[in-house]
Amino acid sequence: MDIPFVDLRAQYARLRGEIDTRIRAVLDHGRYILGPEVAELEQKLAAFAGCRHGIGVSSGTDALLVALLAEGIGGGDALFVPAFTFPATPAAILLAGATPVFVDVSVDSFHIDAAALQRSIRIVADRGALRPRAVIAVDLFGLTADYDALTPIAAEHELFLLADAAQSFGAAWNGRRVGSLAPVTALSFYPSKPLGCYGDGGAILTDDDARAALIHSIREHGRGIERYAIERIGINGRLDTLQAAVLLAKLGVFEEELAQRQRLAGIYDEHLKDIVSIPPRPPAARPAWAQYSILSDHRDAIAAALRKEGLPCAIHYPAPLHLQPAFARFGGGAGTLPAAEALSRRILSLPMHAYMAEDTALRICDAVRRGARSTSQRR
C-alpha cells in the first residue's frame, strides 16, 4: 500500500457525508461565485482566528497580492522577506510592482532573523533608491514567526507588517491565534495545507474595517458599492463557492485534526531527537504542523533510506530564493545569506497529516535512524 505524504483520501473517507452534502447544496442553489457558503466561511474563519474580518480569495498567492495592493504598495517600495520561504511570497511583491529585499533567517527558528532585518532596513534606507515599506513575515511550516520582535521593528520604521500564514492557520502564540498576531494575515487553502480545499483557495484576515473594505473591492475588480462603479484597479481574486463549501465541512474537524498533527509531531520528536535536529518549538507556540522538517548533515542518506522503504519525504526548499534564477537579481549571490543556504542543504520534511497510523510513524522513524546511521558509520 502506498504511504502518502499528506493523506487527503483518508480525510475524505471520514468526511464524505458532510462534504458531499455541502457540495450538493451549492449545485442546487447554483450561486457559484460569492454564494452564501463564502460569507458563512468568512464569518467562521474570523471567529476561529479571533479577528473582525475574514475575506475569501482565490489562493494564498492572491491573498498576499491583494493585501499588498490594498496597502497601496507598488513601484519604488522595498519589502523585506525571508530568503527561505515558498516562491509565492517574493513573487507577490514583484507582481505588485515593488522590490523584494531578501533577509537571512535564523537556523534555530527557520524564521526571518530580527537583527538581520534591522540591518537590512537601515541599508536600504541609507542607500535611498527604494523606500522601506513593509515586512512579510512567514510562519514557516506552521510555526508562527516572532511577531513579538517584528511588531516593534515594523512600528519603529513605519513598515506594514503582513503575515504570510499560508502554512499556519490554526497555529497560536501565547494563546493568540494566527489572524490576530499581525495587522493583516494571508492564508492559503491549497489542498495540502493544514486546512485545504479541493482546488485553489485562500483568505485574508484583519481587524481593520478600512483595510477590509479595500480588500473586498480589490478581490472583485476594484468595484465600489455598485458593481460597475470601478474605483481602483483590482483582480479576479474571489474564493469559489464550491471551495468554501468544502472548507466549511473540514472546519468542523479542524481542531481535532490539529491535535492529531500535534500527536504525530510528538511521536517524531520522541524517536528522532537524539539523531537529527527536530523542529523548533518554543514553549509559547502551538504550531499547526504544516510540515515536520528535520535538519541533518545526512539528509540525502535519510531521504534514500525512506524511499527504499516506499516512505515519502520532501525537501522544503532545495534552494533559498536569492539563489533561484527568477529572484537572483534581487540578492547578493551565494554566501550572502548563510543560514538560508545551510537550511536548504540540511532540511527534510517527513510525512505529516492527521490520519497517520502510529505504526507507520514508527516505521518512518526507523528509516530515518537507519539513514542517519548509514553515513555516520562510513565517515
Ligand X SMILES: *Cc1c(COP(=O)(O)O)cnc(C)c1O
Binding site for ligand X (CB under 6 A): 59-61, 85-86, 88-89, 138, 164, 166-167, 188, 190, 200, 202
Smallest gap from residue 164 Cβ to ligand X (A): 5
Q: How far apart are CA 227 and CA 4, in angstroms?
A: 44
In 3D, which of 314, 326, 310 has the Cα closest to residue 364? 310
- The residue (of 288 and 367) whose beta carbon lies closer to ligand X is 288
- The residue (of 86 and 327) whose beta carbon lies closer to ligand X is 86
Residue 214: partners with Cβ closer than 8 Å, 6 or more residues away: 70, 232
- The residue (of 88 and 171) whose beta carbon lies closer to ligand X is 88
* Cβ-contact 370, 306 below 8 angstroms: no
Paired with 176 in beta bridges are: 173
Which amino acid, residue 8? Answer: L
Smallest gap from residue 31 Cβ to ligand X (A): 23
Smallest gap from residue 61 Cβ to ligand X (A): 3
Residue with nearest beta carbon to ligand X: 60
The SS3 call for residue 211 is helix
Smallest gap from residue 96 Cβ to ligand X (A): 14
Q: What is the DSSP letter of 312?
A: -
In 3D, which of 119, 138, 121 has the Cα closest to residue 130? 121
- The residue (of 25 and 91) whose beta carbon lies closer to ligand X is 91
Query: What angle is formed at CA 372 by the lines to CA 369 and CA 375, rounded to 5 degrees?
Result: 140
Smallest gap from residue 201 Cβ to ligand X (A): 7
In 3D, which of 180, 135, 129 has the Cα closest to residue 157? 135
- The residue (of 170 and 202) whose beta carbon lies closer to ligand X is 202
Smallest gap from residue 91 Cβ to ligand X (A): 9
Q: Per residue in 241-268, is it b (16+ CB within 10 Å) or e — as a string?
A: bbbbbbbbbbbeebeebbebbeebbebb
- The residue (of 288 and 313) whose beta carbon lies closer to ligand X is 288
- The residue (of 100 and 371) whose beta carbon lies closer to ligand X is 100
Strand 292-295 versus strand 202-206 pairing type: unpaired
Smallest gap from residue 189 Cβ to ligand X (A): 7
